[in-house]
Amino acid sequence: MYLETYGCQMNINDTELMEGLLVDRGFVRVDEPETADVILINTCAIREHAERRVVGRIGELQKYRYENNDLVLGVTGCMAQRLGDQLLDGGPAVDLVAGPDAYRALPSLIASIQENAVERGQSLLTLDEAENYEGVTSVRGKGVSAWITVQRGCDHRCTFCIVPYVRGSEKNRDPLAVLDEARAAVAQGYSEIVLLGQTVNSYQAQGQDRRWDFTRLLKAVARLDGVRRVRFTSPHPNDVTEALLEVMAEEPSVCRQLHLPVQSGSDQVLKRMVRRYTAESFLDKVDLARSVVPEIALSTDVIVAFPGETEADYEKTLDLMKRARFDDAYLYKYSLREGTPATRFPAADFVPDEVGSARLARLIGVHRDIQREINQAEVGQWREVLIERPARSKDDLQGRTESNKIVAFPGDPSQIGEYMSVRLTGTTGATFMGVPW
Ligand code: SF4
């Protein structure tokens, strides 16, 4: 089988899960589609651009299907859930589509198609409120961090977001199973654990004794033998509590790094997005994080040109960015997703594309200036770096600091997976160059 993944870390983690299920049934993963008898494309639906790329890729992969009559070509994940039978009926033909809650049934369905027991063109699209994939052993990829999904789906209904419609409501895993998975990851040699969920810090589950919230889960993972770093993503700002921040401050293995997606600095826009906080209450959360967790690095997501965003609203976003001074930011121009509530805003509310592009470009400039100032102040400091991979620059390695900042420095690929003390010698603005101890 050949597996190809698009989209977020949750999807990468889902591919590892699918691989675990398929390996259990005797399938063997190959690195190239040429030699595969099964090709699965695990897809993302968050932006139209991502979906267009996948449609193009399905077209390319179809040549293997025409060359090999036995080949099964499938589309899985969020785009499969969103477009479902459209993927089977129109455009490049595929043999199966399976949504994020249907992966347990995937190996049997593929085997049935291969044995001609069922026709090609099957769909597995039921969202299952109970499916947590408990008991499935993922096959971890080549990275140095073990990503562990603790929560799937989302109970929020932000009006721009397709996630609740393709991944269903929030489902939290058994905390003891999460701890077992983290212990197993440590035994496999991973020392950095990343806890993953759509709004990971709203995690609530019943353990053997009493209820577990995310703070308790984070603390328990942080205290496991062999765990040197713990991160989590992506939290919802409303569920960032003082207790959670105290765990971040007190547990040495919890990285002092927090992603706080703000999306807009205008209360008017936040209300239309149904984000359930105001710019001021968000900034209070930023202040609280900085007062409880010294030297915490903060990152964010922003969408500009959301329907109804005026020039005055946009200026408020610029102001918030200048006040919060994020270490990193993922900045986007609004892109309409069919199936989301935002499609129902009046046509007149939609911001012209060229206005959106100009707003995004200016915001990127503002953020980059702030980021450069923050990073320049770090040059000359020593940082512990977990080495991840060869860097693009020849003979260099690339790794991350506790603050999730990328550093390139001279080293040998045999050091990948090790921790090293590195002095930051310069910055491009976003990333660093360094020299090891
Ligand atoms: S919190 Fe909002 S943006 Fe995040 S996954 Fe849920 S609906 Fe989407």
**Are 360 and 406 found together in one domain?**
no
Domain count, the chain: 4
The CATH number that applies at residue 241 is: 3.30.750.210
> 262-294 pLDDT, tens per residue?
999 999 999 999 999 999 999 999 999 999 999
Given phi > 0 = left and psi -120 to 50 = alpha, else beta, which region is 409?
beta
Q: Cα separation of 68 and 161, whole Å? A: 38
Lowest mean pLDDT among 41-50, 70-79, 104-113, 413-422: 41-50
**Are 115 and 71 found together in one domain?**
yes
**Are 315 and 395 found together in one domain?**
no
**Are 33 and 80 found together in one domain?**
yes
Domain's final residue, options 347, 377, 407: 377
Determine the structural domain holding residue 183 and report its residue range: 143-255
Which protein residue has the closest C-alpha to ligand 1 atom 2?
158
Distance of CA 327 to the CA centre of its chain: 18
Ligand 1 mutation target, pool 198, 306, 335, most atoms within 8 A of CB: 198
CA of 157 to the centre of ligand 1 (A): 6
Ligand 1 within 6 A of CB of 270: no
CA of 351 to the centre of ligand 1 (A): 22
Domain's final residue, options 231, 255, 279: 255
Domain's final residue, options 329, 356, 377: 377
Strand-pair category, 192-196 with 229-233: parallel
Q: Cα separation of 74 and 76, whole Å? A: 6
Q: What is the DSSP letter of 255?
A: -
- Would 425 be classed as within a structural domain? yes
CA of 189 to the centre of ligand 1 (A): 33
Lowest mean pLDDT among 2-6, 204-208, 313-317, 359-363: 204-208
| pLDDT band at residue 66 under the 50/70/90 scheme | confident
CB 146, CB 195: distance < 8 Å: no
**Are 12 and 111 found together in one domain?**
yes
